[in-house]
Chains A and B, each alone.
Chain A
Amino acid sequence: MGLEIIKPGMLTTLQDRGRYGHQREGIVTSGAMDTFACRVANLLAGNAADEAVLEITLTGPTIRFTEDQLIALTGADLSPELNGEPVAMWRPFLVKEGCVLSFGAHVSGCRAYLAVSGGFDLPRLMGSFSTYLQAGIGGYQGRALKAGDVIPCHSTTPVAMALFAQAAATPEGHNFLAANWTPDPQLYPAYRPNPTIRTVKGPEYERFSEISQGQIWTERFQVSAQSDRMGYRLQGVSLYLSEEAELISTAVTFGTVQVPPEGTPIVLMADHQTTGGYPRILQVVRVDLPILAQVVPGQTIGFEEVSLEEAQQLYIRQEQNLMQLARAIQLKQNI
């Protein structure tokens, strides 16, 4: 059948790479906060890039597999265990029916991703599997997972079947088997605490006071406890415009750093509103959104400036690396 949720964890939702094409209708993109880890999880499970994964937040769920599966775990290290035995991440696993996945102490990052080979057997809504919590739509019944839910899965892909054939030699008494390879660790980010995030200047950067324009680069900001999939509230110095201005509302996006009049910056995350009217001091570069997504509330972040050209080159390089990774995984799976 699929995955049986024994304990739901703090916040476990179905997400994919996002719901695009409807922002003009006020519908947020949602999707994985760490789209890089989400993509690699799908690659390792032999899935297409647009399959859904489970996004697991800080305190992980307990999940029983009701059929044989090939799975992959990426993202935050939340001490995953299969049947009570610690397991490594960023590699495919074969799990037999009845195997139980659980999580322990938080080691690094904030969000882990679980992909199952073949993907989840759920309907797409507006082209996407992502859960949009505020509107209660998408994903699994438009909500976070609860104990007792059974998430249906498609049958495993031919790639997984080939791996199963090899796994016939699974040692007696073991009902899971880890692949003996993992992608080059250089290819995936280390989730260091208190990171410095690369940004380009936002459209209203020049409207901020000279002091604020300096402080945004030199000061550090604490990601407050009122931070979620919609946005991170940053505590630290307050930022102000050089003169008050009433802006005409326009589009905002994932990674926009906006500053309401009281001066506390907010970084918009995956469930951000589509439009806004606050001045936008910075925009996080696309390749650093996954780093930001893995920051735990209470940690601090700083900002560093890169040029637009540099930001786009970083993204192009990341896509090239992912293509390489996809090819490498294909080779492994064809053995």
Chain B
Amino acid sequence: MQLFQLYPLGDSAITVQFGDRIDKAIHAKVRAFSSYLDRHPFTGFVEQVPAYNTVTVYYDPWLASEQGFYNPYTRVTEQLQYILRVAREHGRAAAPRTVEIPVCYNGAFGPDLEFVARHTRLSPQEVIASHARCKYQVYMIGFVPGFPYLGGMAKKLATPRKQNPRPRIPAGSVGIAGNQTGIYPIETPGGWQLIGQTPLRLFDPNREQPSLLQAGDQVKFVSISEDEFWDLKEQAHGA
């Protein structure tokens, strides 16, 4: 069985694909490769984007070819194959980081909590308990800065999107769309069912690492009171 495949994304990127489905074991390979590449970048490496089952590696063909001396695609492919071999031999990446996200599921913060409860035939308390009980895997950051694509929500919480998207969703809103859950890092329009809000800033352009979450992290939601929400919000936005 082929463990991975490489394909070009144009003349300045190569995608390494591990398997063809969304699952944790495949994502563990993504993480191992990605973290090895972080520590051992090659000549001409620009940046990388880890996703569900792929890592896309951007490179500068001019630098990677040593200013035209080598064929850049061949050169980078060789480097990536070497990294794939070494990353496999050196085993798994370090244990993933678990990030706790405090969420206030109360009233105004979760305007669609009642709807989700009715749709799933659970009580609002059961929705909250179930949402805060699971451990979620961050597969990818995309869509807008800092937006985590999370896997691992309990199937019974699945609820379709709103028919009419809201024109403005406050930053920090936690929502459900189909069998996915996510957090809006910045104020945008959107159609997710909003069940709560976190006081944390998922995206802060002035932080050294602007996105709070990174692909590979694990996330746990912790239910907090409205008082705790405002205290934490003050801390997160105070500085």
Contact = CB atoms under 8 A, between A and B. Distances in A.
B61 A312 contact: yes
Given A248-B53, A250-B15, A251-B13, A308 B8 contact: yes
A182 interface: no
B10 A286 contact: yes
Interface residues of A, number: 42
B9 A316 contact: no
Contacts of A311: 10-11
A253 B58 contact: yes
10 residue pairs, one from A and one from B, having the closest CB atoms: A275-B142, A283-B10, A251-B56, A25-B211, A311-B11, A251-B49, A319-B62, A316-B68, A26-B141, A250-B54
13 contacts: A23-B47, A25-B209, A26-B147, A138-B205, A248-B21, A249-B140, A250-B15, A251-B54, A253-B10, A283-B11, A286-B11, A309-B71, A312-B65
Contacts, number: 148
A200 B8 CA distance: 9
B146 interface: yes
Given A25-B211, A126-B210, A315-B62, A200 B143 contact: no
A315 B46 CA distance: 16
Interface of B is mostly: loop
Interface in B1-50: 7-13, 15, 20-22, 46-50
Contacts of A286: 10-12, 61
A26 B235 CA distance: 25
A316 B68 CA distance: 6
A200 B21 contact: no
A311 B20 CA distance: 28
B52 interface: yes
Nearest to A136: B186
B72 A312 contact: yes
A179 interface: no
Interface of B: 7-13, 15, 20-22, 46-54, 56, 58, 61-62, 65, 67-68, 71-73, 140-147, 149, 185-186, 203, 205-206, 209-211, 214-215
A126 B73 contact: no
Given A20-B46, A23-B47, A24-B47, A283 B9 contact: yes
Interface of A: 20-27, 125-126, 134-135, 137-138, 200, 202-203, 248-253, 255-256, 273-276, 280, 283-286, 308-309, 311-312, 315-316, 319-320
A315 B61 contact: yes
Contacts of B72: 312, 316
Given A248-B22, A249-B52, A312 B47 contact: no
Nearest to A311: B11
Nearest to B210: A25
